[in-house]
A and B are shown apart, each in its own frame.
Chain A
Amino acid sequence: MYHYQKSLSYKIFIIFNYFILALSALLCILPLIHILAVSFSGSAAATANIVGLWPVDFTLDAYKKTIGNENFVRALLNSLLRVVLGTSISMACMLCAAYSLSKSDHAFKGRKIYMWFFVFTMLFHGGLVPTYMVVTKLGLTDTIWALVLPSAISSFNLILLVNFFRTSVPKSLEEAAIIDGANHFTIFWRIYLPISVPAIATISLFTMVFHWNSWFDGMIYMSNVKHYPLSTFLQTIIVQQDFSKMSVDAETLKNLSERTVKSAQIFIAALPMLIVYPFVQKFFVKGIVLGAEKE
């Protein structure tokens, strides 16, 4: 596109540049490949630390043991429930709110107050302890609601949706609908939602990723390991290596602490992200640009 002299030094730089970039990309992907290789290796090879980027003594043992572990499967199901329920509640509440907030200050008196009500939560938090106490006092501990309700409204995502509604729904369409006697619910349902499918998909994906990855709330609000979502479960057994909360026999315990099984569990937890990643990435880029260009 630009015409400039391709000097020798520039050509050398270009080769060097490709090399550096390829190396950085490799650095980002190699850890995952290593874990994958360990998970497919025989447990003797893994313990002897001879696995690099390719499985040694290929076997599916670790995956069989993981799938056979009922604690793991239950945690996986908890996570799926959390993602589905959490995302639906979040999106339903945020979309309705964003519709109202997308009106002009003139047409909707009080909009500014609501807007500040939400923005303030981005600026100031009560902190960990008071929030924990509210959730406990409401009796939400050991229920799925402790995981989906406190984080249901993300002010940041809400503002993204408001900005999207404001910039991409044609005002003329809305005015025409008003003249035809449509009320706000109809306009929201028939005009706003169909037009905003890409934005809704983007924010839904943000929310799903958030729920799949969250683990800390599971750890502080769930006292019974049966209610742990997958991330919390993995945090307990892989990062903390704490098996005390699980009533497991010696055999299962031995399986759980095997390096190959740990790797298999890590990989299974990462898998949904790896699958949706290409889609999410495209949308995330849009989201960032959406966020950066709003005015």
Chain B
Amino acid sequence: MQTQTHLESQTVINKKKKLKKNGWNLRNTWQLHAMLLPAVIIVFIFQYIPLFGLVMAFQDYEPWLGFLHSPWVGLDHFKTMFEYEDARQVIWNTLIISSLKIVFNIVVPLAFALLLNEVYIMKFKRTVQTIVYLPHFLSWVILGGILIDMLSPEGGIVNRVLVSLFNIKPIFFLGDNDWFRTVVVITDVWKECGFNTIVFLAAITSINPTLYEAAIVDGANRWQQTVYVTLPSMLPIIIVVGTLSLGNILNAGFDQILNLYNPLVYKTGDIIDTYVYRVGLLNGDFSYGTAVGLFKSIISFILVVAGYRLAYKYANYKVF
């Protein structure tokens, strides 16, 4: 046994020596490179090659001329974007919808996790948690179909209930500019609430119990314990969730909006992604679509990196 361990450490030492000698040491690692190859090829083709296509944003791209012969227009498309009323409205809509989503997707799950934490019947707790998490797994196509039916002004169940309770006129939730953003934010929180609730609950359970014991000795009641122990202990994870969602400020929920909106609510509900899809792919204005998309990618990139840095600085969170 002893000799074996000795042998083992000897081999390890020998290996280390060898490694230092020839840098890449392909004789031992070619298999590792080979195993990465399929993933690298797929990512290169579908994620990196499109980056070259970004030159379209600075051209008037015509499919029959190709990238090489299409005329260059510099920053014209970006200028158009900021001069164009529609595009400004779209950016504004995106910011409003996504900020509301970010705030409510932290506040509601946090409150929900705190309430769930006060439940001592485990079965009840688990059941509620399971059910609340369910909508997260259904796609916006399914939920869109359900919501369009339920929110319909012509006999949708929501309007039926509202009319019978408050005796008001049916509301066209998905076709009314005053209501659309509210519906988008509420349904998004409804769908995604369970996810952050679980993250927050996990953070609550990992709080050191001695903190509570000390608080109890000091005569703190349950509310005071929540305010002075639970919330401060959860601050790092709240910061992480908050800063990481910064990168999503220009993602107001493409899938959701595309499944819920219609031309009636473009004024308040059209967001960058749906706009890019309509002008870029449906109208075939490839260059302008690419330019708007690139604008979004650059801003998002800056915010994602900033978000990670902040999360690391204030909560010591590392992605990898």
| Cβ-based interface call for B72 (8 A) | no
Q: Are A100 and B33 in contact (CB under 8 A)?
A: yes
Interfacial chain B residues near A52, Cβ < 8 Å:
157
| Cβ-based interface call for B105 (8 A) | no
Q: A93-B39, A131-B46, A288-B198 are in contact. Are A25 and B157 (CB under 8 A)?
A: no
Q: Are A94 and B39 in contact (CB under 8 A)?
A: yes
| Cβ-based interface call for B2 (8 A) | no
| Cβ-based interface call for B65 (8 A) | no
Provide the main secondary structure of the chain A interface.
Answer: helix
> Among residues 86 to 127 in chain B, which have CB atoms less than 8 Å away from a CB atom of chain A?
112, 115-116, 118-119, 124, 127
Interfacial chain B residues near A27, Cβ < 8 Å:
190
| Residue ID in chain B nearest A166 by CB atoms | B320
| Residue ID in chain A nearest B16 by CB atoms | A106
Q: Are A153 and B39 in contact (CB under 8 A)?
A: yes
Q: A10-B222, A34-B150, A128-B273 are in contact. Are A100 and B40 (CB under 8 A)?
A: no
Closest beta carbon of chain B to A263's beta carbon, Å: 7
Measured between alpha carbons, how far is A185 from B56 in the docked complex, in Å? 43
| Cβ-based interface call for B142 (8 A) | yes
| Cβ-based interface call for A123 (8 A) | yes
> Among residues 277 to 297 in chain B, which have CB atoms less than 8 Å away from a CB atom of chain A?
277, 280-281, 286, 289-290, 293-294, 296-297
**Among A17, A214, A259: residue with most chain B CB under 10 A:** A17
| Cβ-based interface call for B165 (8 A) | no
Q: Are B115 and A28 in contact (CB under 8 A)?
A: no
Interfacial chain A residues near B141, Cβ < 8 Å:
213, 215, 231, 234-235, 238-239, 269
How would residues 41 to 64 of chain B score, 1 for a CB under 8 Å from any chain A CB and 0 otherwise? 011011111111110100000000
> Among residues 261 to 295 in chain A, which have CB atoms less than 8 Å away from a CB atom of chain B?
262-263, 265-266, 269-270, 273-274, 277-278, 280-281, 284-285, 288-289, 292, 294-295
| Cβ-based interface call for A121 (8 A) | yes
Q: Are B25 and A130 in contact (CB under 8 A)?
A: no
For the A-B complex, the count of residue pairs with Cβ-Cβ distances under 8 Å equals 274
> Among residues 75 to 92 in chain A, which have CB atoms less than 8 Å away from a CB atom of chain B?
92
Interfacial chain B residues near A294, Cβ < 8 Å:
318, 320
| Cβ-based interface call for A250 (8 A) | no
Interfacial chain A residues near B146, Cβ < 8 Å:
31-32, 34-35, 266
Q: A288-B199, A292-B202 are in contact. Are A126 and B137 (CB under 8 A)?
A: no
Q: A1-B209, A119-B320 are in contact. Are A134 and B50 (CB under 8 A)?
A: yes
A-binding segment of B128-136, B176-184, B263-271? B128-136
Q: Are A22 and B36 in contact (CB under 8 A)?
A: no
How would residues 138 to 173 of chain B score, 1 for a CB under 8 Å from any chain A CB and 0 otherwise? 110110111111100011110010000000000000
Interface residues on A, range: 35 or more
Q: Are A4 and B35 in contact (CB under 8 A)?
A: no
> Among residues 4 to 40 in chain B, which have CB atoms less than 8 Å away from a CB atom of chain A?
7-8, 11-12, 16, 19, 23-25, 29, 31-33, 35-36, 38-40
Interfacial chain A residues near B154, Cβ < 8 Å:
49
Measured between alpha carbons, how far is A259 from B277 in the docked complex, in Å? 29
Q: Are A126 and B56 in contact (CB under 8 A)?
A: no
| Cβ-based interface call for B212 (8 A) | yes
Other-chain contact of B43, A2, A117, A130, A162 (Cβ < 8 Å): A117
Interfacial chain B residues near A114, Cβ < 8 Å:
36, 40
| Cβ-based interface call for A247 (8 A) | no
| Cβ-based interface call for B249 (8 A) | no
Interfacial chain A residues near B160, Cβ < 8 Å:
49
Q: Are B46 and A10 in contact (CB under 8 A)?
A: no
How would residues 147 to 187 of chain A score, 1 for a CB under 8 Å from any chain B CB and 0 otherwise? 00111110100110011000000000001001100011100
| Cβ-based interface call for A209 (8 A) | yes
Contact sample, A vs B, 24 pairs, CB 8 Å cutoff: A2-B209, A2-B225, A25-B128, A32-B146, A114-B40, A119-B319, A121-B43, A124-B51, A125-B50, A127-B294, A127-B296, A127-B297, A129-B280, A130-B54, A130-B56, A159-B320, A213-B138, A214-B139, A262-B145, A262-B149, A265-B145, A270-B138, A288-B199, A292-B199
Additional A-B contact list (8), CB under 8 Å, known A96-B39, A238-B141:
A18-B124, A29-B134, A109-B25, A153-B39, A183-B31, A185-B35, A213-B139, A294-B320
Closest 3 A/B residue pairs (Cβ):
A127-B293, A126-B50, A130-B53
Give the interface of A toward B (CB within 8 A).
Answer: 1-5, 7, 10, 13-14, 17-18, 20-22, 24-25, 27-29, 31-32, 34-35, 38, 48-49, 52, 92-94, 96-97, 99-101, 103, 106-110, 114-115, 117-119, 121-135, 138, 149-153, 155, 158-159, 162-163, 175, 178-179, 183-185, 188, 209, 212-216, 220, 231, 234-235, 238-239, 259, 262-263, 265-266, 269-270, 273-274, 277-278, 280-281, 284-285, 288-289, 292, 294-295
